[in-house]
């Protein structure tokens, strides 16, 4: 199967769950509106059409578009954005150099040097907040400190390592980061990347004996459940008045996030406000729209609807095209599907959109290089 099937399944399941949540908790959440649902379905439809038609477009035009999106999205960061854009272009040239050395033809040792460097980076990033005592699982308030960025960076670098090779030890390290940081996003991303890479290899056992296979599957599920349980625990600690149980909270959350999207759609129509994508703190920006000083997630439909209104559907076309191009190569396919799946509940921001542009740009450039050599 195509890895993107996971994204489509998650998007449809999320919509169904959100609508059920708003019905079950009708005393806490407003009923679902027709216009937001129509926009959400249209947005997914545009992604699907663009995904299908991507192969008919010229690669040279698409690479220029991806670079243009990178520059536009990263521009609000000032010099840091320019440096990051240049670093992305440089990284592409380095990876093409790796391809020239024939590393792609040896899957067992593929990018071993890169995996070692990234693993060391993950360990350092993970160790820094722990060393200073910023441990959210013990001190929930630390989750909102600047050290959250170290945990998030460590988690996403772990996802990159897993996209290169589905190492069970790296999976456990990534889930440990999620447990200590209480970030469900990290736990989901790590588990999803590990799963997708194994499926992609066509051998879910990855050479592991059958008896151990069930142990690993069980460990993945139990570890992921532990991440959600610990996050629920910190939620109760942070909000003592929280009255919903663990499973009730799981059902309630999609309804809340979808409700945020509905509000954003009404605020952004018809032509948008252009505030979320170009904000250095998008979740905080959305929270401020609701008079709160905490971050709000807003679904994959929320940012396009608020920032660009009806024209936000064009962003869906871009995401569909980028997803199709990123799937040309194995590592970028794993990363792009992981990011697209995470965007379903969390929402699009500068990081996600620029990452999708980079993955598509990298995949197309390497593909073009291979065809010319």
Domain boundaries defined on the chain: 3-370
Instruction: Give the pLDDT of residue 351.
Output: 87
Q: Is the dihedral of CA 315, 319, 320, 325 positive or negative?
A: positive
Instruction: Give the pLDDT of residue 289.
Output: 92
Q: Is the dihedral of CA 231, 351, 257, 294 positive or negative?
A: positive
pTM of the model: 0.90
Instruction: Give the pLDDT of residue 205.
Output: 47
**Parts of the chain with a pLDDT under 50:** 103-104, 107, 205-209
Instruction: Give the pLDDT of residue 112.
Output: 78
Label each residue of 299-349 as H, E or C: HHHHHHHHHHHHHHHHHHHHHHHHHHHHCCCHHHHHHHHHHHHHHHHHCCC
DSSP state of 107: G
Angle CA 210–222–129, to nearest 5: 120
Longest Cα–Cα distance in the chain: 63
The answer to whether 325 and 363 have CB atoms below 8 angstroms apart is yes
Q: What is the dihedral of CA 346, 359, 173, 155, to 10 degrees?
A: -40
Instruction: Give the pLDDT of residue 261.
Output: 97
pLDDT digits (tens, 9 = 90+) for 5-24: 999 999 999 999 999 999 99
Residue 367's nearest CA partner among 85, 17, 95 is 95
For the chain, what is the total number of helices (H) and then of strands (E)?
15, 0
Instruction: Give the pLDDT of residue 81.
Output: 65
Dist. CA 206–CA 322, nearest whole Å: 29
The answer to whether 315 and 308 have CB atoms below 8 angstroms apart is yes
What is the crossing angle of helices 246-268 and 282-289, to 10°?
80
Instruction: Give the pLDDT of residue 314.
Output: 97
Q: Which residues neighbour 243 within 8 Å (Cβ) at sequence distance 6 or greater?
A: none
Label each residue of 132-180 as H, E or C: CCCCCCCCHHHHHCCCHHHHHHHHHHHHHHHHHCCCHHHHHHHHHHHHH
């Amino acid at each position: 199967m195509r890895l993107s099937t996971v994204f489509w399944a998650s998007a449809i399941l999320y919509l169904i769950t959100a609508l059920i949540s708003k019905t079950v908790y009708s005393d806490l959440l407003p009923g679902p509106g027709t216009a937001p649902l129509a926009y959400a379905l249209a947005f997914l439809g545009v992604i699907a059409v663009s995904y299908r038609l991507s192969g008919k477009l010229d690669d040279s035009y698409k690479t220029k578009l991806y670079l243009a999106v990178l520059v536009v999205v990263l521009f609000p960061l000032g010099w840091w954005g320019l440096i990051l854009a240049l670093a992305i272009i440089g990284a592409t040239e380095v990876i093409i150099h790796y391809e020239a050395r024939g590393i792609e033809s040896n899957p067992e040792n593929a990018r071993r040097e890169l995996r070692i460097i990234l693993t060391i980076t993950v360990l350092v990033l993970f160790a820094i907040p722990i060393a200073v005592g910023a441990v959210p699982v013990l001190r929930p308030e630390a989750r909102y400190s600047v050290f959250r960025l170290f945990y998030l960076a460590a988690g996403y670098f772990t996802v990159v390592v897993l996209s290169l090779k589905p190492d069970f030890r790296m999976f456990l390290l990534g889930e440990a980061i999620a447990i200590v940081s209480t970030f469900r996003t990290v736990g989901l991303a790590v588990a999803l990347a590990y799963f997708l890479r194994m499926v992609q290899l066509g051998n879910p056992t990855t050479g592991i004996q059958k008896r151990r296979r069930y142990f690993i599957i069980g460990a993945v599920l139990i570890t992921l459940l532990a991440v959600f349980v610990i996050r629920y625990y910190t939620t109760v600690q942070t909000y003592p008045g929280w009255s919903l149980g663990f499973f009730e909270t799981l059902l309630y959350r999609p309804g809340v996030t979808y409700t945020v999207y509905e509000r954003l759609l009404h605020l952004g129509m018809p032509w948008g406000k252009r505030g979320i994508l170009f904000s250095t703190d998008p979740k905080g920006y959305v929270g401020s729209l609701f008079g709160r000083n905490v971050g709000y997630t807003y679904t994959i439909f929320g940012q396009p609807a608020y920032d660009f209104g009806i024209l936000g559907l064009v962003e869906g076309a871009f995401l569909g095209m980028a997803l199709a191009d990123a799937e040309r190569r194995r590592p970028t396919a794993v990363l792009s599907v992981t990011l697209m799946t995470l965007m379903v509940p969390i929402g699009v921001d500068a990081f996600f959109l620029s990452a999708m542009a980079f993955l598509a740009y990298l995949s197309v450039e390497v593909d073009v290089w291979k065809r010319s050599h």
